[in-house]
Amino acid sequence: MTVKCLNNSDKLVLIRWYRNKDFNQKQLAMQFNVSERTVNRVLTEVGLATPVARIKGDAYRVMNILNKHDIDVDQLDMLLILGKAQLQQIEDDLIEDQAAYMHYQQMVEDVPF
């Protein structure tokens, strides 16, 4: 049975906010002045999972990615540490390059023609 106490535009907003993780079901119920059960029924109508199932679903997707790339948890931890360090180095290099370019521009502007 479809939820009739909310109009379609309210349902779309509710669904979008839930998908974006802006609000949980309890907060959505307060926002729309309906019960948590009503919010749950709206989310069930469109096939969205409960928060626990959503977390399990995300964990399942992560495990599939790890299996796909043949990476265990310790390797993932190391890759994240190394990747973070590499990203920081790239950012530092970009800042340094930008400063060098600005210095070069100032030197060129000072040359009289």
Q: What is the pLDDT of residues 1-54, one digit of tens each?
A: 566 789 999 999 999 999 999 999 999 999 999 999 999 889 988 878 665 666
pLDDT digits over 61-80, tens only? 899 999 999 999 999 999 99
Tell me the average pLDDT across 80-106. 94
- pLDDT of residue 113 exceeding 70: no
- Please, which residues have CB within 8 angstroms of residue 3's CB and are 6 or more apart in sequence? 11, 38, 41, 42, 45
Burial 49-73 (b: 16+ CB within 10 A, else e): eeeeeeeeeeeeeeeeeeeeeeeee
Question: Residue 54: what pLDDT?
Answer: 65
Question: Residue 47: what pLDDT?
Answer: 79
